[in-house]
Amino acid sequence: MKARLKRYALPLAAAGLALLCGLCLLVYGHLAQLLDSQRQAERWQGESDTAFRQLSCFMAVDEKLSLEQVYTFRKAMMDKFHEAALDIGTDSQLFCDAWCSFGTVNVSSAQGKGEVSVIAVGGNYFDFHPIRLLSGNYISPDDLMKDRVLLDEDVAWLLFGGTELSGMEFKINGQPFVVAGVIEREQDFASKAAYTAGMGIYMSYEGYSALVSENAGLETASAGGGAVGINCYEVVMANPVKNFALNFAREKFPIGGGLLVDNTGRYDYETILKLTKSFGQRSMQTHGVILPYWENAARSIEDWCLVLLLCAMVTAVLPLVLLVIWAVRLFILGKTKLEEDLLPKARDNVAEAIRVRQRRAWEKRHLKKKE
């Protein structure tokens, strides 16, 4: 019994490690698809043959971005697309972008009031961040009025005691606004850990800029900018050749002391393995950038993917070694059987076939002579 256990211990251990390796890769694959905020390029491309790349630009705390700079970058993108001979009849399909700013405001209604965080958004923000709606609709760049606001579930209960609130009125810093809808915060473990701003709302960048300007005693902010700067800019753009989008953004986007991140493919095996080069340095903040919660969540997923990939590689060693040994032994066994059994038999069969043919030929000639 002991001898049998000893004989099968190594194969059983290899089988267990192979299962563990497979489990690590399955979990890795799940995590790589977990965050919708990292997959806008995939959604935007759809059935198109044109490749797209998603980039995020996080501004340094003392280097806010203006809308004029965003529009200038858009214009430079169009010029670059035309220069690259991309289809100029579908300019609107060659890129998708969004921007946002962060702050705090006071909200109030007849039922409650409090201070909440605000994410002021512009462009196609909710294409990049398709947060689940509990009721109502997202705010959109096509909205003529900029007084529509999304509440998260906590603010909805604070102000109205429910979530079916579309069209309800409340005040932000004493100014009237309307509820567009109510959202549920992301429920994945990384986003829940990364989001620390408490109760919050989403409003248009223009509306927030006007509100801040008015509270500061300035003239009402126009769509061109105002007292609020942009903290984060995200773009999906056509990528007809490798690194086309990334190199263009590095050249033309006014990132200053901020941080430019390539979201597309950040969870590929090769990309994740490169993180080992910065082990011990990833947690060191060398940029004057306060990252938004979704980027911190994405980095948390990167760390978990690195751990899982390294575990998969380690657990695959013994099964692969045994597989190679088994393949070599099988080859040697096959070669021996071929040389000692099959080849002699084949030679004998060939020799016998030759003898039979020679015999038949001799008999044929002998019969002809008799005739």
The share of the chain scoring above pLDDT 90, in percent, equals 64
What per-residue confidence (pLDDT) applies to 325? 84
Do 178 and 149 meet the contact criterion of CB atoms below 8 Å apart? yes
pTM: 0.83
Identify how many contiguous H helices and E strands the chain contains and give both numbers.
12, 10
CA distances in angstroms from 258 to 29, 180, 290, listed in the order given: 30, 33, 10
Angle 82-86-89 (CA atoms, 0-180°, nearest 5)? 85
Cα 6 to Cα 12, 19, 363, distances in angstroms = 10, 21, 65
Distance CA 1, CA 20 (A): 27
- Which pLDDT tens digit goes with each residue over 284-299? 666 788 899 999 999 9
Q: What is the pLDDT of residues 100-113, one digit of tens each?
A: 999 999 999 999 99
For residue 126, what pLDDT band results from cuts at 50, 70 and 90? very high
Q: What number of CA atoms fall less than 13 Å from residue 49's CA on the CB side? A: 2
Strand duo 148-152 + 175-184: pairing: parallel
Q: How far is CA 73 from the centre of its chain?
A: 24
pLDDT band at 357 (very low <50, low <70, confident <90, very high): confident
Q: Provide φ and ψ at 187, rounded to 5°.
A: -105, 0
Q: Is 132 helix (H, G, I), strand (E, B) or coil?
A: strand
Tell me which of 219 and 72 has the higher pLDDT: 72
What mean pLDDT comes out for the span 20-40? 96
For the segment 66-79, the average pLDDT, to the nearest whole number, is 94
pLDDT of residue 141 exceeding 60: yes
Supply the pLDDT for residue 221.
39
Token pair listed for 229: 């700067």
The DSSP code sequence of 221-269 is: P-TT--S--B-EEEEEEE-SSTTHHHHHHHHHS--TTSEEEE-TTTTSH
Closest CA to 38 of 306, 298, 247: 298
Residue 51, pLDDT score: 92
Give the confidence band of 370 by pLDDT, cuts at 50, 70, 90. low
Q: Based on the number of CB atoms within 10 Å of its own CB, is 123 exposed (0-12), middle (13-18) or buried (19 or more)?
A: buried
* C-alpha–C-alpha distance, residues 118 and 199, integer Å: 9
Please check the confidence at residue 333 and state whether its pLDDT lies above 90.
Answer: no
Mean predicted lDDT score pLDDT of the chain: 87
Work out whether the CA dihedral 262, 264, 270, 273 comes out positive or negative: positive
Report the alpha-carbon distance of residue 69 to residue 254 in Å, rounded. Answer: 8
Q: What are the respective helix, strand and coil percentages of the chain, to the nearest 5?
A: 50, 20, 30
172-228 residue pLDDT tens: 999 999 999 999 999 999 999 999 999 999 999 999 999 998 776 644 334 344 468
According to the model, what pLDDT value does residue 355 have?
Answer: 74
Cα separation of 110 and 170, whole Å? 8
Angle formed by the axes of helices 2-32 and 293-315, nearest 10°: 160
Residue 348 has pLDDT above 70, yes or no: no
Per-residue pLDDT for 249 more than 60?
yes
Three-state DSSP class for residue 146: coil
**Does 30 score more than 90 pLDDT?**
yes
337, 345 in Cβ contact below 8 A? Answer: no
* Helix (H) / strand (E) containing 67: helix 67-83
Using pLDDT thresholds of 50, 70 and 90, give the confidence band for residue 322: confident
